[in-house]
Structures are given as structure tokens and as C-alpha cells.
Amino acid sequence: MKIFKTIALGGITKEALLDQLTKQGIQFNAYAKTLFSDPEFSVNEKAESVNLVKVNSLELGLTKPSYYKDIVASAKVKGLKLCPLSLAAFLRLECLDQAEGPYLHIASAKPKQDEEYPNGFYLRNLEGVLWLRGYRASDDYEWPVDSEFVFRTDVQDA
């Protein structure tokens, strides 16, 4: 799978990260603010380089709308890994030129097993405004085959 981006993850405080996002005019919804304040949203003091892959369900071999757990399982078979919650904020800063169009979901583990709690983040450009948004989806939600997800990978382009 082709590397979508290689980004630096960590190396600053959560407060400094939020400040950088705000200075770039990034907008947040209430779910994003909830996730940002969650203890699972942590930032390492030391920066690490992370390779990211952008895929949809079809590229993972799923030919019909699928549950998130099936998307993650198919990605794992291809050597892809879930992302930490904080990766979404770092990627948002790396994708300031994101075109309008589909959401870019960051594949991560849901921080709490609570239907009312946000699952994770997605990036979006809506009418020229860049967003870092949190979302909620039930376990039985079927993701359309063209939904785009970002996963981590340790493998270089194959």
C-alpha cells in the first residue's frame, strides 16, 4: 500500500498542539473538544516519525458497506495499525491544503465503550473551512465502501 503521508507525531504539549490548530483557524465540533480532553488523547514528549496509509473499504477487499470492526480487521490483515487519538490533530496540521470532498477518518480505538461517547476524529474541508471533528457511530453502523480511513503502517510502499 502506498504511503499517504509521513508525519511527526508528538514533540510538543497538548496545549501547544491546540494552540497551533487554533492559530491555523482549524474549527472543532463539541465531539472533538470532548475527545481532545479525554485522557486517551495524549501527546508524547518525544516526536516520532509515522507512516500513514489512506484506504477505503474496497482497497481493503470489502465490496459492500461494512462494520468498523470488519474494516479494522481487514486493515490488520494488510499490516495496518490503528492510530492514537492525537494523530488526528497532527495530521490536521499537515493537511492544511485538504481539498473539499470526502471526510478523512482517522482509524483509532474508541476511547470509551459508550454509545453516547465519540468514537474518534475525521478531517474535513467544508466550504473552505478546515475542521477537526469528532464523530459518533454505533457498532452496527455500516460504513460506505468509499469512506476513507487513515491507518499507521511500519512498511514502506509496496
pLDDT at position 158 is: 45
Residues linked to residue 122 through DSSP beta bridges, in sequence order: 105, 133
Cell of 133: 471533528
Q: Band of the pLDDT at 156, cuts 50, 70, 90?
A: low
Q: Which residue has the cell 467544508?
A: 126
Sign, CA torsion 58/61/64/65? negative
**Percent share of the chain, pLDDT over 90:** 89
pTM of the model: 0.94
* Mean pLDDT confidence for 23-35: 97
Distance from C-alpha of 144 to C-alpha of 158, rounded to nearest angstrom? 26
pLDDT at res. 115? 87
Q: What is the mean pLDDT of residues 111-129?
A: 94
Inform me whether the pLDDT recorded for 9 exceeds 60: yes
Share of the chain above pLDDT 70, in %: 98
What is the structure's pLDDT at 101? 83
* Mean pLDDT along residues 77-102: 95
Contact 106, 90 (CB under 8 A): no
Name residue 42's amino acid.
S
Q: Are 135 and 31 in contact (CB under 8 A)?
A: yes
Mean pLDDT of 105-112: 95
